[in-house]
Structure formats: structure tokens, C-alpha cells
A = this chain, B = another copy of it.
Amino acid sequence: MKITLDDQGRVKLGRMECAVVVLVFLSAVTFSLETLPDLSPRFRRGLAVFEVFSVFCFTGEYAVRLMYARPRRAYAFSFFGWVDLLAILPFFLSLGFDLRAIRLFRLFRIFRLFKLTKYVKGMNRLRQSFQMVREELFLFFFASGIVIYLLAMGIYHFEHQAQPDVFRSVFDGIWWAVCTLTTVGYGDAYPVTLAGRMFTVVILLTGLGVVAVPTGLISSALSRIRDDEQRQEMSG
């Protein structure tokens, strides 16, 4: 095992990094398998053993990282320091308590997945493009919020009388508005009155872009940043 520090002072564990990635993947799979309703007791025991093994490994990794990090506090209080800690903490906490009550904590095990992001290069370009269109993104999310609220108010007004069980309050309207504007359209709620339908048609045709434009903004910002990089490489 080779232990080095990268140029930002983060511990790199050489070949071990790969093993951790594999373990994180396996851990995600086993956590999914655990939720299957009809598992044989033997298979379930196998999953539990693997769980103990993986927590053991992650604990060891956390200890090594903490030991070699300079300064130590920089790692402990960094984003990935917290993720690494939260990936193992729920297991130890659940030892002393009733398992069912603490089940909610186990959800934090999914934080382990975030560790994978450490291993992927090139996130920089994506971060840059987000920064480039930050203001427009904010504006569109803000506009989305307003459009969704207006839609929710409108549909509650038009449909509450006709479908009191479906549109019980404005909050049901918000759920419907989000499902409609993102074009998911589950079909659990939809307008049935003439006024409600006309309202929906007008809003859909004019307001659909409010949710869809941000996607286009990010993708065009990404291509621009890639172009700029290429031009700099060619001229530099």
C-alpha cells in the first residue's frame, strides 16, 4: 500500500483506492438486496457478514486517512471527511440501540456512494459551466417556483369543487404542478373541468420552458468551456 498526498494535501491510498471503489459498489448492491422481501435466512446472514466486513474496511480506511492527513483537522472537517464518517457511524450507533428505531440512520449508508465522486477527474469543467450560468439558473429556478405556485393556486381554484379528494389543498396542487411542468405526468391527478383544462393548456404551452431551459443552458455552457479549452491548447 502506497500512501501519498496530492497537491491539495488530501491522502491518496494508491492501489487501495480501487479496492474501496469496488467495495462501495458491492455495498450499494447488498443494501438493495437486503430490502428484497423473500430472502432465505442463509442469504440474509451472508449479507449481514458482508456488511460487517465492509464497515470494518471503511473504518480502517477512515483511520488511515485521519492519521496521515496534514493538517488532520482539514480532513476530519472536509466534505469527504464527513461522508467517510457518516458511512460508518450508523453501523456503530445501531449496535447499542433497538435496530428498528434507528433504521432511519441506515439511510446515511448511501453517503458511501458519494465517495466515488472523489475518483472521477474532469468534474472541474462541469463546475465551471455551472458557475458560468449561475445567474440564469437562479432566475429560472426562481421563475419555476413562481410558475409552480401560480399553477397550484389556479388548479386548486378550478378543480377543488369537482375533485375534492384529488385536489384537497394547494399542496396537492403543487404536487400536480411539478409532475405536469416536468412532463412526468403520472396520471394520479389531472384536471377534469373545462376551466381547469383550458388553464392547464395555456400554462403548459407557455410555461414548459421554465423547467426545460436550464438543462439547455448547462449543456451549451459545457460545450463553450470545452471549446475554450481546445482553443487555448491549440494556441498555447
Contact = CB atoms under 8 A, between A and B. Distances in A.
A211 B201 contact: no
Interface of A: 28, 31-32, 35-37, 104, 107, 110, 113-114, 116-117, 120, 122-123, 125-126, 132-133, 135-136, 139, 141-142, 144, 146, 149-150, 152-154, 156-157, 160, 168-171, 174-175, 178-180, 182-188, 190, 194, 197, 200-201, 204-205, 208-209, 211-224, 226-227
A91 B146 CA distance: 22
B186 A183 contact: no
Nearest to A114: B146
Contact of A205 (B28, B35, B135, B141): B141
Given A32-B153, A132-B226, 7 more contacts: A28-B149, A36-B171, A113-B146, A122-B135, A179-B204, A184-B185, A188-B190
Contacts of A226: 132-133, 136
Given A113-B150, A187-B188, A201 B174 contact: yes
B220 A216 contact: yes
A32 B171 CA distance: 7
Contact of A223 (B114, B208, B217): B217
A129 to B, nearest CB: 9
Contacts of A122: 135-136, 139
Contacts of A133: 223, 226
A37 B169 contact: yes
Nearest to A175: B197
Contact of A35 (B110, B156, B215): B156
A188 B224 CA distance: 40
Given A32-B170, A204-B184, A218 B209 contact: yes
A170 B31 contact: yes
Given A32-B169, A120-B139, A175-B197, A205 B211 contact: yes
A171 B116 CA distance: 21
A170 B132 CA distance: 36
B224 A227 contact: yes
Given A190-B186, A201-B174, A217-B222, A110 B156 contact: no
Given A28-B149, A122-B135, A169-B37, A201 B175 contact: yes
